[in-house]
Amino acid sequence: MKQNITRASFSILISAVGIGAAYAQSTEAPKPAATPTWPVAGIWMPNDAKDLGVLTGQSWLSGVKVRGWVDGYYVVNRNRPDRATVDANQGTSVVKGSNVSVEGRTFDIQRSRPSLSLAEVEIEKIPERGGFGFKLDLAAGKTQGVIADTIGGALGPAASRSTTVGPGRNIQHASVSYLAPIGNGLRIDAGKLVTHIGAETIETAKNWNYSHGFFYTYAIPFQDTGVRMNYAWSDTLYTELYVVQGWNVTRDNNPSKTWGPSIGWTPIPWLSIVANYLQGAEQNDNNANKRKLFDTQITAGPFFERLTLMLNYDRGTEQRVPPTNTTDVSWSGTTLYARYKINDRFEPTLRIEHYRDPDGFTTGVPQTLRGYSLTWNTKFIPSPGAMLMIRPEIRYDKSSANFFTNGSNFRSRNSQLTYGIGATYIF
């Protein structure tokens, strides 16, 4: 996998902030930054995120939010798959990359070598009522290469064979927003969006476990390009509507758009429910055959101020899949998360997964996958405004078919045991 890491993206950002600071002087002294929380809030920043105007003392930057992280990992695979063997069979693998030696994963795919997974800066101007805003996520590291290569050549959900080249590899999210003065405010975002589907997202800083589950790896898209409309009916209920080009495509590969509603409801303080639906034609030059995906997450807790549970259920179908154009396929599963707060420093999380792909549409092999992951989330505060997450993890994956490579024998085993450690510096 050829990496295209645009260091200039970060230097331009830093230079722009520096030039602006020199240009606009303020008598207000910068205030200390608040320590980040974990897990980091999802795709869109909360109003209490770090404010560049407060951090720099420059009033012209007021309202521009910023956050970021640097993430890396080291993992051992007891199967010791030969990298050359796995790489030689990349044509039959869904997740694409170079030196792949941890299979069934999305980003932590290289064994027995320290790897820089992701370095990212998120910048967002949250729009005020009747005003405009934006969000820009600049990212570098092996994660961006895996996303680009997987989108460009995977089976199943990425069959459109879209491509991400040049600086596009390092732009994870880029959108403009407008808060229409309708009722409580209708927020409209348009551009390249990180998918809202699922309990996990690209950045490990936002997830309960370090490694990504089977749902994220196989069942849902990485990114979308299109429009999101969000309306908060109250502090406990919101609805959204998405109209996008399709799964992982910037330029649509057929005349049809993909659309779907989303709803989030917190009926009582310790219970929240999110339900998502997507439907659209995803096959090349085919407007008739539809892909449908239902996704829901139920989060309960914390109970006794320590235990929080989350259940994620997905079911997807696609009509008349090529090359025969006669067979309908489906995939589904359930993931249970349990996070326990021992104290302010330690929050271990157990993840139990059951993922069915009877047609081999999403994984490339007809199978049922089960996964068991224990992540020991450990927090340190190295300096004001920053957090260091050290995350030892042990994971056991079991398939109903031979899906994992053992040594130089490609897909010769039905199980995989890995253990390793992730480190994420959040600022």
- 3-state SS, residue 325: coil
- 3-state SS, residue 9: helix
Q: What is the pLDDT of residue 287?
A: 82
Q: Which residue has the higher pLDDT, 10 or 68?
A: 68
Tell me the chain's radius of gyration from C-alpha atoms. Answer: 21
Give residue for tokens 């229409």: 180
Q: Are 349 and 377 in contact (CB under 8 A)?
A: yes
For every residue of 218-243, DSSP letters joined together read: IIS-SEEEEEEEEEESSSSEEEEEEE
Summarize pLDDT for 34-43 with one digit per residue, the tens: 788 899 999 9
- Grade residue 113 by pLDDT with cuts at 50, 70 and 90: very high
Q: Pick from 275, 363, 342, 284: which is nearest to 312 by CA?
A: 275
Summarize pLDDT for 144-180 with one digit per residue, the tens: 989 888 876 544 544 555 555 567 789 999 999 999 9
- Grade residue 74 by pLDDT with cuts at 50, 70 and 90: very high
Domains assigned to the chain: 32-46+63-426 (2.40.160.10)
Summarize pLDDT for 186-241 with one digit per residue, the tens: 999 999 999 999 999 999 999 999 999 999 999 999 999 999 999 999 999 999 99
